[in-house]
Amino acid sequence: MHDHSDHPLDCGCGAHGDAGDTPVAEAPNTLYDALFRPHIDTARPFLHWQGRPIGYARFLRLAARIANALRAAGLGPGDRVAVQVGKSPTALALYAGAVQAGIVYLPLNTAYTPAEVGYFVADSGARLLICAPQAEEALHGADEAPPILTLSDDGTSGRFHDLLSGQPDVAEVAARGPGDLAALLYTSGTTGRSKGAMLTHDNLLSNARTLTDLWRFTQDDTLLHALPIFHTHGLFVATNVTLLAGGALLLEPAFDAARAIGLMPQATAMMGVPTFYTRLLNDDGLTRELTAHMRLFISGSAPMLADTHAAWTARTGHRILERYGMTEVNMATSNPHDGDRRAGTVGLPLPGVELKVCDAEGRDVPRGEVGVIELRGPNVFKGYWNMPDKTAEELRPDGFFITGDLAVQSPDGYVTIVGRAKDMIISGGFNIYPKEVEAALDAVPGVLESAVVGAPHPDLGEAPVAVLVAEPGAALDPDAVLAAVAPQLARFKQPRHVALVDALPRNTMGKVQKAVLRDRFAQVFTRPRAR
């Protein structure tokens, strides 16, 4: 008899293990065999949630109940489950349970509108949607909506929780191979239709193994986890690395600087986006003493300003390790754990990952010149769901993926991202890379941060627009800013218009939404002048 209380993790039974007869491979080649099966009997904490530890074995009993619940809802290996819920231990166990049942996991940003969710669900052919109770009514109206089950933000109530409470905490493990799909992640879709990136067991597992080794994670590590779990960074990088190493997660519903400072004494590592670090720097509680025991601070998902690197090192004595990845490839480059962590770069290609910087025809450009990053390796996705033409356009026959990110590689291999190919501005026939202009603007006293976008121009085709955020208390004069950057930038690179805003538009991962800015300033050079 099992004790199933309101919280799905409060099953106090001692039963564990799995009833599957899938043999354990000598070299595990699927996510379940590598990440979850080794911890079936491990009482050591995996999660710390709201002040209480949750052991590995207990977490995996919940995952097994979820696997059974998904099967009870009619899903089988290869089916897709779409999930738009708040971050909780149960939400994280949804990923583990889907892996155990061989179901393809489709996490959705909690900020997506019902119309957007409707598109993802219909496009993926998801057999089940798990969402927050407050979103259910709006989602029911979507075309071809599958059955919907609800789960509260803390994971302790809702119809999916009710379904869990009747399930055994032992479950069969679906037989899957390294080339089978494990997850379907939709790109943000800032231009055109959002694309579903197909990620296999091998894509995710090979990347986790490389990063665990490269970043020196062990079972002695406790990672401060304040990232969302609907994205590669928080769901796969942070979680899979911790599972593979046998470490623990301090699982936070969202990032809060004061909470992070309070928890840091319990942590050895933190993964974050640049916004985490700038907010921590604004808190007087961040000191060298607070971080003295920390082993590693990692940043990604958006570029970090050199000033943030310098301020962090001055305050804490730590050098932030910056890396680069994207939905389609997980992680692709990283600054070294031991060695030169260069501010402004995303480091070197990961072991086993081939990186080229190419022109539009796919030919290598000389080191030091700007080109598009192309990547090949076991981490590179299988293609876009139901989009063979788009897959063929971005995934070359030889396996190289055209990322669309513009970069320069130093003579010794360090990669510096200079922007997106679609963000490049062509003005009067000259190429302008926004990051170069932004670096000059960010160095002007009083400028907190900047974004440079192209706007249609009647004479030049396009011209650069600088969008600036002032430092607190600073009063920026656009003409003075332009005068300050003029000596560093060729005339064609200098902004033709300067706009002051309170904040730059960002997505949930901290990336500046340049498409929003392009729309906002699209007519700045072309609108009729007032008489």
pLDDT at 18 over 70: no
What's the pLDDT score for residue 492?
85
Label the pairing between strands 354-358 and 321-326.
Answer: unpaired
Instruction: Place 351 in a pLDDT band, splitting at 50, 70 and 90.
Output: very high
Tell me if the pTM is above 0.75: yes
Cβ neighbors of 29 (< 8 A, separation 6 or more) are 177, 178, 201, 202, 205
**One-letter amino acid identity for 148?**
I
**One-letter amino acid identity for 445?**
P
Q: What share of the chain is helix, strand, coil (3-state, %, to 5)?
A: 30, 25, 45
11-15, 139-143, 315-319, 364-368: which has the minimum mean pLDDT?
A: 11-15
Burial grade of 244 (CB within 10 A; 0-12, 13-18, 19 or more): buried
Structure tokens of 392? 């063929």
Burial grade of 122 (CB within 10 A; 0-12, 13-18, 19 or more): middle
Task: Give tens-digit pLDDT for 395-416.
Answer: 999 999 999 999 999 999 999 9
Label the pairing between strands 461-470 and 497-500.
Answer: parallel
Structure tokens of 308? 């943030």
More reliable by pLDDT, 439 or 93: 93
List of domains in the chain: 49-200 (3.40.50.12780), 255-421 (3.40.50.12780), 424-520 (3.30.300.30)
DSSP 280-322: HHTSTT--HHHHTT--EEEE-SSPPPHHHHHHHHHHHSPPPEE
Instruction: Place 113 in a pLDDT band, splitting at 50, 70 and 90.
Output: confident
**One-letter amino acid identity for 173?**
V
HEC secondary structure over 104-128: EEEECCCCCCHHHHHHHHHHHCCCE
Average pLDDT, stretch 478-505? 93
Average pLDDT, stretch 213-238? 96
Task: Give tens-digit pLDDT for 268-280.
Answer: 999 998 889 989 9
Structure tokens of 257? 């600087």
What are the C-alpha distances in Å from 79 to residues 62, 182, 184, 192, 474? 20, 10, 11, 26, 54
pLDDT at 523 over 60: yes
Instruction: Place 143 in a pLDDT band, splitting at 50, 70 and 90.
Output: low
